[in-house]
Amino acid sequence: MRRSLLLLVLGVMTCAAGTASAQRPVRYRDVVFDKVERTGDVAFRTTTSTGGGVTTLTLDVYQPAGDSAPARPAIIWIHGGGFRPGNDKRQKYIVGMSEAFAMRGWVSVAPDYRVRANPDPDRLPALRDALEDCRAALAWLRTNAAACRIDPTRIVVGGGSAGGMIAVNLAGLENIEAAAAKRPGIVALVDLWGSPAAALTITEFGPTFPPTFIIHGTADPTVPFAQSEALAAALKAGGIAHELYAIPGAAHTPTADMADLVGRTVAFVYPRLGLPVGR
């Protein structure tokens, strides 16, 4: 009787321990920090402005307060705004995404890029300038990997609206070059309502293109949802892992439920880090 009771107690304890272990927050997937530190306006590039002068571009770095991990994954968040002034690296949902990932242990980086008061009708020159700037921000992050305590083999790129268009091209071109140089590329792409039209797509969707998560409202009047459907079709044709999360009836920048968007994004990108289970 006593032996049976002891076995029963041990069984309950084992079960409880297993449940507690299963519910333990997993770094980089779950929230494990309650405060975020932002280092603002870090210069990463001096270049020719759209007006012909000289401009210095800056970025913000978000990291979990009090963290001591030496090699953390990083995510670059590129703001939107139609390539025009009015939005920058402090765009509300860019800050929200940057902080949400930092609270999970990531290092988030939000760069500025050159914009134009009157982008050309096809916007391609503006896209090329912005793409060049954001690739410089990525190069800065890799150069400063030790100082930022990031793992340069685990970098994700994301962006919203015009920033999504930049991110799609950046991820594609970066990974083509990385494959040719036999170095690590971008491990995942997050496209927030910014799938580029064919005229603004200067990359290709071949085998080096990273796994891609797309969020888009089906009633978007600014960036048509059909562009995300076309992107998803191109990714499928290229055999690239992807997911298109459509928000029925939503217009541009559907951020009413940011917690849901963050959760879905993390669920997609976390497995792409290739970390040991539970780390």
Domain count, the chain: 1
Residues 158-197: pLDDT tens digits? 999 999 999 999 999 999 999 999 999 999 999 999 999 9
> Is 91:60 a contact under the CB 8 Å cutoff?
no
Residue 1 lies in a domain: no
Evaluate whether residue 200 is within a structural domain: yes
State yes or no: pLDDT of 15 exceeds 60.
Answer: no
Is 126 contained in some domain?
yes
For the domain that residue 106 is a member of, what is the CATH number?
3.40.50.1820
Residues in the chain: 279
Kindly report, residue by residue over 37-64, the tens digit of the pLDDT.
999 999 999 999 988 999 999 999 999 9
The residues near 6 (Cβ < 8 Å, ≥ 6 apart) are: none
Enter the pTM of the model: 0.91
| Model confidence pLDDT, tens digit, residues 90-146 | 999 999 999 999 999 999 999 999 999 988 888 999 999 999 999 999 999 999 999
107-111 and 72-78 as β-strands: parallel, antiparallel, unpaired?
Answer: parallel
- 256 occurs within a structural domain: yes
Residue at 4 is within a domain: no
Task: Specify if 86 maps to a domain.
Answer: yes
Domain extent at residue 65: 29-272
Domain annotation covers residue 5:
no
Using CA atoms, how far apart are residues 50 and 45, in angstroms rounded to an integer?
A: 14
Residue at 9 is within a domain: no
**CB-CB contact of 80 with 126 (8 Å):** no
Q: Does residue 18 contact residue 85 with C-beta atoms inside 8 Å?
A: no
